[in-house]
Amino acid sequence: MFSKRTEPASIASQLVLLFTLAAAFLLSCGLGVFYWLVVQHAFEEDNAVLADKISVLSADLKADGPKATDEELKSVRTGEHPVYSVRVVDSAGRTVTETLGMNRLLPPSIFPSPHISTSSTRNPKNYRVGGRLFSLLTTIEEANGQPYTIQVAQDRSTDDRFTKEFGALVAVVLAFGILASTLIAITVTLGEMTRSLGRIGPTHLNERVAPAGWPRELQPLAVAFDAMLKRLDDSFTRLSQFSADLAHELRTPIANILGEAQVALTRDRAPAEYRETIESTIGECERLSGIVDNLLFVARVDAAREPIAPTRFDARAAVEKIASFYQMIADDHHVTIRCSGEGQIYADSALFERAVGNLVDNALHFTPEQGSIQIVLAEHAANFEVAVSDNGCGIAPEHLPRVFDRFYRVKSSRGSDGAGLGLALVKSIVDLHGGSARIQSEVGRGTTVTLIFPNKPL
């Protein structure tokens, strides 16, 4: 009996496999490094903030004794899940003070042993309980001649969820990238595929396959391949810019918090001064929280994971509610808000109010005193339009193509301290409804942003 010989794979199959493996390797390396950098940066920043937190507590305890930490506990944001939990234990193991409810989830026994080295404060112990992730730090400080143990826990559940969702998104992008590479490899000519394999890489996405030299039947494929490379090149460029902008936006409030804390610790200060510093720090933290919340919302919309519950409701009543909410701010700047038009709109009411509210808030930043803001409604057979106009300073033509980009800001006459996410969030909400947004502006005359929501099919 002779065993049946297995026929060797064709050259085309081997090259397709080689091309697919190479593309998978490049995508895996690029996305893996990007994922690691984002996650590592987020956790390092959290570790630094946690280390600063325990340093402030140690300084307060050393200067004023155990009761000094009571003020710190009052400054910690309260609620169902506080961001920080603090406990002070004396040398006999008795709890002097602690955050309300801390002992139920975080008993003293699960905290790490105290260390003196700086490196240990940068590498806290992570602990999971009840589906939540905590980072734990412990240190010892003397007060009134007696040693006290300070235990601080930081709730990182939000960061943990972001890491998992971001990892899932990276995995989906990798899978689609490998699939696209395989399909392209199957249809591309062998010679051109081999040459392209040697040229194209993460830093050489500007390469093109020159469709003019391809067979007539494959020229549409070559054009599509070049278009894909152009989209990838544009995506990588935008991703790099987005990462740089994100780092800048997060660095500013973190630097403010760190700077104020360092200045506060340079000398003994009155309780009122410490309170002012803490209130300023809370303001910066709330600003950071707002940036992160908006980023997560836009990211979920981009990944088509933000659920909506569209209903038909009275658009006029909704915009009048928004105008009433912002009227007090408008009165402070002597700006009037007027509504006109009416009709029934089919949309998620909460997201609709959020989008229009962002436009009104943005218009207030660009409208001078004695100016006016108009909210105009127009119902059509196929769609519903909402236009928000102001007679402010206007936007120069070179800025208009980018005003819906994340973190892109146009300086107003009164200045703007926002994060540049307002119009990006509005665009994401409209896209989520299958609609569109457009902007018209003239310098010195004002700006009009129009949101177009499709009507529910009859």
What confidence tier does 312 reach under pLDDT thresholds 50, 70, 90?
very high
Distance from C-alpha of 93 to C-alpha of 301, rounded to nearest angstrom: 49
Q: Where are any strands of DSSP class E within 280-391?
A: 311-314, 336-340, 344-347, 372-379, 383-390
Its pTM stands at 0.44
Q: Please tell me the predicted confidence (pLDDT) of residue 175.
A: 82
Q: What is the pLDDT of residues 422-448, one digit of tens each?
A: 687 888 888 888 899 999 988 888 899
Distances (CA, A) of 320 to 310, 341, 366: 20, 11, 21
What confidence tier does 234 reach under pLDDT thresholds 50, 70, 90?
confident
What confidence tier does 185 reach under pLDDT thresholds 50, 70, 90?
low
Percent helix, strand and coil across the chain, each to the nearest 5? 55, 20, 25
Domains and CATH numbers, the chain: 311-454 (3.30.565.10)
DSSP codes, 357-379? HHHHHHHHHH--TT-EEEEEEEE
Among candidates 257, 137, 140, which has minimal Cα distance to 265? 257
The answer to whether 392 and 363 have CB atoms below 8 angstroms apart is yes
Please tell me whether residue 120 adopts helix, strand or coil conformation.
helix
Q: List all residues 6 or more positions away from 302 whose beta carbon is below 8 Å from its beta carbon.
A: 428
Amino acid at 125: K
CA 275 to chain centre: 30
Q: Please tell me the predicted confidence (pLDDT) of residue 93.
A: 77
Q: Please tell me the predicted confidence (pLDDT) of residue 62.
A: 73
Q: At residue 107, what are phi and psi to the nearest 5 degrees? A: -70, 160
Q: Please tell me the predicted confidence (pLDDT) of residue 445.
A: 87
Among candidates 74, 412, 18, which has minimal Cα distance to 186? 18
Q: Please tell me the predicted confidence (pLDDT) of residue 427.
A: 87
Q: What is the pLDDT of residues 26-83, one digit of tens each?
A: 778 877 788 777 777 777 777 777 777 777 777 777 766 666 666 665 555 444 455 7
Q: Please tell me the predicted confidence (pLDDT) of residue 11.
A: 47
Radius of gyration over alpha carbons of the chain, in Å?
28
| Model confidence at 255: pLDDT above 70 | yes
